[in-house]
Structure 1
Amino acid sequence: MSSMNEYLREVFKWNQEMRDFLESENIDGNNELWQKLNSLTNVMDRMDQPLNTDELGSLSEKVEEIHEEMEAYFNERLQLGAIYANETSVPAGKHVLPPLPYGYNALEPYISEEIMRLHHDKHHKAYVDGLNKAEDALERARATGDFSLVKHWSRELAFHGSGHYLHTIFWNNMSPEGGGKPSGALLAQIKKYFGSYEQFKKHFTEAAKEVEGVGWAILVWSPRSRHLEILQSERHQLLTQWDTIPLLVLDVWEHAYYLQYQNKRADYIDNWWKIVNWKDVETRFQHAGELKWKPV
């Protein structure tokens, strides 16, 4: 009996330490770690009688499950810390085209190899080159004091920079093993704001269909309002909300689908849902949720 009491005291202590840690990390209350710790706390709060063997075993399993998830979280933070410690910034004019995270034909039949090669190697590369050219020009302007073309190069910086960064997100937002639905805290937020996953998907799909001309449909997280939102971006440097963080993006410029789908944008969008990489979106949401501004 004394050993069981000692174990319970350790569990109580560990549970409080983990709660203090999550608070210090500003982890959103909807995060799965919080939900599991709250569940454990509720169980322990109801323990006014000694536990039998089965109850103790169930409690031990719950503690072990949470411990493994906390350990995974710690490991991820350590890896991110190592990345940030060793990563240098990108000098002006030195951006490079990132490789695709899968083969050019990996998304077939939903997006053809021909489109992926053209889209990545030509269009995305053009954004990278344009961004470097704009940064180099503005660097020379700062050095010489000649800002006579600052309006032009600022526009180029916005256009090509937005194209480069959005496409980088776009490639990782897709996967040959994608599709299905999100899970965890992201799904909870989707249901909270949009009512259901189905309503969110319908809203996003219609926003993508109705972008005027060319552009993007974008799911974003707003650190100020603390909720998700769906935006349209026509000519991707315009019609944005600058204080939001993109989570899921869909390119509906014609070069993204026309060779395969011609003018049937709706078919392209419907098939795109089958390759959405929700794990990537969930990871982006987790890190975005850690950033908190004063609500205004």
Structure 2
Amino acid sequence: LNYEYSDLEPVLSAHLLSFHHGKHHQAYVNNLNATYEQIAAATKENDAHKIATLQSALRFNLGGHVNHWIYWDNLAPVKSGGGVLPDEHSPLTKAIKEKWGSYENFITLFNTRTAAIQGSGWGWLGYDTVSKSLRLFELGNQDMPEWSSIVPLLTIDVWEHAYYLDYQNLRPKYLTEVWKIVNWREVEKRYLQAIE
């Protein structure tokens, strides 16, 4: 991480981050590495059936790692600019205003749609390289949008482990608060890279 666990307080506690990053995300990394090793062994043995049976574990754990990796980069302490929106001349600001009218409208829609995810999942803002536009996604479990045309800009984790220690069952409250530490500089950087 580019910050200490305590740096995101009071929005996310160090206690929560130590579990979320240190245990949950690490488990995806460990399981992903183990899956890669099993695929390599099965490939060496030319065991197509074994390789096929490992695909769901590969997808789930790779999604868990990538979604979390983006999420951690999408957060920043308030003292380091967390929550500060890009200025009005930013290409990202212009794209958000063109699509949703304002950051406030975008965040309200994002929160409404993401809060409605049944069970665990992720809210995503992505750039669609085909339509050349911003898109919102609500994805269950560790799913990700189709990578061939969607560039990830922002993810918000709504698995219970992302907020439960601090917000209990109040997912909408967590979604309201997390914007105070969104690293908009990182989101904007990804957007600028996507539109090049």
Provide the TM-score with structure 1 as the length reference.
0.62
Q: Distance in 1 between matches of 2:93 and 2:111?
A: 17
What per-residue deviation string (whole Å, max 9, x for no partner) do you get for residues 37-64 of structure 1?
A: xxxxxxxxxxxxxxxxxxxxxxxxxxxx
Residue of structure 1 in register with 2:193 after alignment: 287
Aligned counterpart in structure 2 of residue 241 of structure 1, from 146, 154, 175: 146
Aligned length: 190
Structure 1 distance, partners of 2:104, 2:16, is 29
Residue matched to 1:71: none
1:68 corresponding residue in structure 2: none
**Residues of 2 paired with 1:197 and 1:112: CA distance?**
26
Q: Percent same amino acid at aligned positions? A: 39
Q: Which residue of 1 aligns with 2:5?
A: 104
- C-alpha displacement of 1:106: 0.5
State the shift of 1:152 in Å.
2.6
2:37 paired residue number: 136
Equivalent residues in 2 for 1:61-140 (5 A)? 100-140=1-41
Structure 2 counterpart SS, 1:237: coil
Q: Which protein is bigger by CA-based radius of gyration?
A: 1
**Displacement of 1:156:** 0.7
Which residue of 154, 172, 175 maps to 1:266? 172
Structure 1 runs of 4+ with >3 Å offset: none
Matched, 1:278 2:179: no
Deviation at 1:241, TM superposition (A): 3.1
Deviation at 1:197, TM superposition (A): 1.8
Question: Which letter maps to 2:84?
Answer: G
1:195 aligns with 2:101: yes
The residue aligned with 1:160 is: 61
Cα distance in 1 for partners of 2:53, 2:125 equals 29
Q: TM-score, normalised by structure 2?
A: 0.93
Pairwise CA distance, 1:236: 1.7
Alpha-carbon distance in structure 2 between the residues aligned to 1:271 and 1:196: 18
Structure 1, gaps ≥5 residues long: 1-99, 291-296
Q: Partner letter of residue 225 of structure 1?
A: S
Q: CA deviation at 1:202?
A: 1.0
Among candidates 156, 174, 181, match of residue 85 of structure 2: 181
Where does 1:205-244 land on structure 2 (aligned, <5 Å)? Answer: 205-237=111-143, 240-242=145-147, 243-244=149-150
| Distance in 2 of aligned mates of 1:217 and 1:256 | 12
Superposed CA offset, 1:246-286 (max 9, x none): 10100010001111111011111111010011001111111
Q: Note the residue ranges of structure 2 that are not aligned, 5 or more in a row.
A: none
The structure with higher relative contact order (CA 8 Å, sep 6+) is: 2
Amino acid at match of 1:241: E
More strand by share: 2
Measured against aligned partners, the alpha-carbon deviations of 1:68-121 in whole angstroms (never above 9, x if no partner) come to xxxxxxxxxxxxxxxxxxxxxxxxxxxxxxxx1101100001101110000011
